[in-house]
Amino acid sequence: MISKAQLAGMIDHTLLRADAREHDIVRLCEEAVKYRFAAVCVNPYFIRLASKMLMGTDQKKCTVIGFPLGATLTKAKVSEAVKALELGADEIDMVICIPALKDRNIVYLEKDIAKVVKALDGAAVLKVIIEACYLTDEEKIIACEISKKAGADFVKTSTGFGSGGARTEDVKLMRMVVGKEMGVKASGGIRTLDTALEMIDAGASRLGTSSGIKILTEYDERSK
């Protein structure tokens, strides 16, 4: 089993609830530092606060764009990404345009992602959320191939707001398609240590979860 430090360093400590408030984000950031999580993941409204809270720490600030449906126009996604950078974001989780994927509008999909990549210009990591619960295996493969071709850094299973979350079979498929060159983030429904370890064994290099502390507590209990 991987070490506790390695596990913590793969977790994006996440709070994307619609009713989250400033004191919740302050606590999230304090927990991320205490437990040495990889990043906090918050809605764009809270990026400025997260950046202030995490200044001088090793924890990254992650936010979401085109969230949670992915059908936002490319221009809006680019604008969101640029503004997030200005406010201190280190990582951007962008939802793929699911309708375009379903319609096999490959040219639009690639441009949608590539324009965000260009706007970030290497200043932030880009993760493309494919929302696997709505896709056939063929569509998952297409989404991963396009994300890789367009220059994204990661593909991610889910927003956590869809009809289903991360599944090990999806993580395995995504890892097979993108190879070792890209990251794979499993997100959605990861609430236990066993699930987290299953996702990592399947090929996930990052985990998005609001249950990171619970997972690490389980790790400690199992290690006794």
Cβ neighbour number for residue 163 with a 10 Å cutoff:
8
- Residue tagged active-site, from 61, 140, 148, 185: 185
Residue matched to tokens 């709505």? 134
How far is C-alpha 82 from the geometric centre of its chain's CA atoms?
Answer: 18
Cβ neighbour number for residue 73 with a 10 Å cutoff:
11
Query: Is 140 part of the annotated catalytic residue set?
Result: no
- Contact assessment for residue 51 and residue 26, using Cβ atoms and an 8 Å cutoff: no
- Residue tagged active-site, from 77, 140, 148, 156: 156
Cα 158 to Cα 166: distance, rounded to the nearest angstrom: 6
- Residue tagged active-site, from 12, 93, 153, 170: 93
Query: Is 93 part of the annotated catalytic residue set?
Result: yes
Beta bridge partners of 156: 129, 185
Four-residue CA torsion sign, 171, 175, 178, 181 = positive
Query: Terminus-to-terminus CA distance in the chain, angstroms?
Result: 14
Query: Is 61 part of the annotated catalytic residue set?
Result: no
- Point out the residues that are catalytic: 93, 156, 185
